[in-house]
Structure 1
Amino acid sequence: MKTDSNACQVASIGGRRQSLIEDARRERSAGGQPGTSRGVDAQVFEEKEGRVTLNVLFHLSNEKNGGFFKTGKIFETFDAKLLHVESRPCKRSKNSTSDLEFFVKCEVHSSDLEVFVNSLKRVVDNVRSIPEEKVPWFPRQIKELDRCNLLITKFDPEMDKDHPGYTDPEYRKRRAFISELAYRYKQKVTTRDLKQRLSSKRREVYKKLRSIYANLACRQFLDGLQKLESECGYGEERIPQLRDISAFLKEKTGFQLRPVAGLLSARDFLASLAFRVFQCTQYIRHASAPMHSPEPDCSHELLGHIPMLADKEFAQFSQEIGLASLGASQEDIEKLSTLYWFTVEFGLCKQNGTVKAYGAGLLSSYGELVVSLRSRGDRRYSTTIQRPFAVRYEPVTCSVDVLDEPSKIQTVLCETRDHLKILQGALEKLGFS
Structure 2
Amino acid sequence: MAARAVLIAAVASGQGKTTVTAALARKLVKAGRRVRVFKCGPDFIDPMLLERASGAPVESLDLWMVGRERCHRLLAQAAQEADEILIEGVMGLYDGTPSAADLAREFGVPVLAVIDAGAMAQTAGALVHGLRDYGPVAMAGVIANRVGSANHAAMVKTSLRDIPLFATLPKQGRSLPERHLGLVLPDEVSGVDAILDELAEQLVLDQEAWDALPPVAFEPPAPADALPPALAGKTVAIARDEAFVFVYPANLAVLRALGAEVVYFAPLANEPVPAEADAVYLPGGYPELHAPALAKADAWRASIRAAHAAGVPIVAECGGMMALAATLDDGAGAWPMAGLLPGGVTVQKRLAGLGPQALTTAHGILRGHTFHYSRLETDAPVSSYTAKNPSGVQGEAVYRIGSLTASYFHGYFPSNPAAVAGMFSRPAP
TM-score clears 0.5: no
Larger Rg: 1
TM-score by length of 2: 0.29
TM-score by length of 1: 0.29
- From the two aligned structures, give the one with the greater helix fraction: 1
- From the two aligned structures, give the one with the greater strand fraction: 2
